[in-house]
Amino acid sequence: MAPTVERKQIDITPLKKANVPIIFIVGGPGSGKGTQCERIVKKYGLSHLSSGDLLRDEVKSGSARGGQLTKIMEAGELVPLEVVLDLVKEAMLKEVAKGSKGFLIDGYPREVKQGDQFEAEIMPARLALYFEVAEETLVKRCLKRAETSGRVDDNAETIKKRLKTFMQSTTPVVDHYAKKGKLVKINAEGGVDEIFGVVQQHLDKIFK
C-alpha cells in the first residue's frame, strides 16, 4: 500500500492579509491554460502556479514528502487533495512575500471538493476562467506539444485517459462555479492572440 503523506502546519495569515485576487484556470489538457497564463503574467504581473508543476518540483526536490508522493504515483493512486493544497499554500506564501498582485491557479481545482477545500482554507476565488475547447482540438494540441515537451503524459494513449478524467471530474467543477456566478467561459478554439483578447476584457475589470 502507498504511504500516507503528512500534512504540515502552515500559517497563511500573510496570505489572508495580502487579500489579492485569486483566479482558477480551468480547461482540458491542451486547452491552452499554460499559454494564456504566460500572456496574463506578462501583462498583469500575476503569480502563476500550476499544481502539476508544484507536484513535479516537490518530487524532484528529493524531500521526504516528495519521496512519499513518488511512491503514491508509482502505485497508481491519487495524490491526496490536502497535499496538493499544502504545496499550493506554500507556493502562494512565497509569492506574497515577494509582493504578489494576484494569483493564477492553473489546472486547479480538478474536483469540486478540491475547490471547496481551497476556498475554505485559503479564501474564495474571484473567478474561474474556463478555456472551452472541443475534444478533437485537445488531442491535436497535446500531440503537437508531445513533439517538444518531453512530458511523459503527452502520448496518444495517456492523452485519451487524461481527457476522460477531465470530462468526468472537471465538468462538475465548471458547473459548480457557474452556479456561484464566478465562471467566465472562454471559447478557446481560436488563435492565441484572439483568445487573449477575450481574456483581457475580463481581467481588465479586476486589474486596472
Ligand X SMILES: Nc1ncnc2c1ncn2[C@H]1C[C@H](O)[C@@H](COP(=O)(O)OP(=O)(O)O)O1
Binding-site ranges for ligand X (CB under 6 A): 27, 29-35, 141, 144-145, 191-192, 195
Residues 33-92 that bind Mg ion (CB under 5 A): 33-34
In the chain, which ranges are continuous DSSP H helix?
A: 13-18, 33-44, 51-61, 64-74, 81-97, 112-121, 135-149, 156-179, 192-203
The distance of closest approach from Cβ of residue 32 to ligand X in the complex, given in angstroms and rounded to an integer, is 3
Q: Which does 180 bind (CB under 5 to 8 A by kind): Mg ion, ligand X, none?
A: none
| Burial tier of 126 (Cβ tally within 10 Å: 0-12, 13-18, 19+) | middle
The distance of closest approach from Cβ of residue 45 to ligand X in the complex, given in angstroms and rounded to an integer, is 19
Q: Which does 27 bind (CB under 5 to 8 A by kind): ligand X, Mg ion, none?
A: ligand X
Q: Which does 35 bind (CB under 5 to 8 A by kind): Mg ion, ligand X, none?
A: ligand X
CA distance 208 to 202: 11
The distance of closest approach from Cβ of residue 95 to ligand X in the complex, given in angstroms and rounded to an integer, is 19
CB 22 within 8 A of CB 206: no
DSSP state of 21: -
Three cell numbers written together for 189: 478554439
Peptide bond into 109 cis (omega under 30): yes
- Taking contact as CB under 5 A, which single stretch among the options 31-39, 81-89, 139-147, 173-181 is the one that binds Mg ion? 31-39
When CB distances to Mg ion are compared, the closest residue is 34
Three cell numbers written together for 58: 516537490
**Binding site for AMP: residue ranges?**
51, 56, 77-79, 107-110, 114, 151, 162
- Taking contact as CB under 5 A, which single stretch among the options 26-34, 97-105, 178-186, 189-197 is the one that binds Mg ion? 26-34
- Residue 184 phi/psi, 5-degree rounding, is -115, 110
- Taking contact as CB under 5 A, which single stretch among the options 30-38, 81-89, 174-182, 189-197 is the one that binds Mg ion? 30-38
**Binding site for ATP: residue ranges?**
30-35, 145, 190
